[in-house]
Amino acid sequence: MTADISSPRAGAPLDPSRCAVALDTDDLDRALGLARVLRPWFGIAKVGLELFGAVGPRAVRSLSDEGFDVFVDLKLHDIPNTVGRAARAVGTLGARYVTMHAAGGADMLRAGVEGLVEAARPPGAEPPLALAITVLTSDSVAAPELLAQRALGASAAGCGGVVCATADLGAIRVAAPELLRVVPGIRPRGAAADDQARVATPAGALAAGADILVIGRPVTAVGDPAAAAEALFAG
């Protein structure tokens, strides 16, 4: 599945549908407040382990009600039967994207994809898109051979996309050009990398071929999230 997302014109604001805000908090009210403030720049809200662990499906439904495409980032990784059942449960929540670890292998990914397709949903609604995690951006090295293997496995299993670092995009595009490419580890130029080993600016990631950018602490862990978002995308 190739992303139907064109590159922005020089000087034009980035389409919010290409930007996911990582709401890494255990407080649903704070998550919703951040999402509302950042809505002009972000059309996707990412619910990770912390927020889902704190309030569960309510986070997904609340953000969906706010008009966001919801990215459920649970990184499913277990035996195929367990992942398939978990994906079926998550697929009922109204998420647009769901992650699972490519390291689990093609059979596990395929079970996850099938679970998402089988999940109950409103008539006419598309199943969530399965995103395969290739190599975490906190890892300092990602071998091109491993990236290609995981991208090919994701494609063969029916995943719609992958999650990878900016530095990995070249290998991914060669191996499986049809996959949507979701890139975390986005930072302003010169900012601290925190616990991310492989980071990039928004412009650098887009130039390398990213379809969707995932951004968290640079806009959520600051005093003025809106000003930080405006500066990040202007830089």
Catalytic site positions = 75
Q: At what angle do helices 57-65 and 28-37 cross, to 10 degrees?
A: 30
Q: Estimate to the nearest angstrom the gap between the alpha carbon of 88 and the chain centroid.
A: 19
Candidates 55, 89, 97, 92; CA nearest to 73 is 97
User: How many other C-beta atoms lie within 10 A of the C-beta of residue 47?
Assistant: 27
Radius of gyration of the chain (CA): 17
Q: Which of 1, 95, 3 is nearest to 48 (CA)?
A: 95
Neighbours of 87 (CB within 10 A): 27
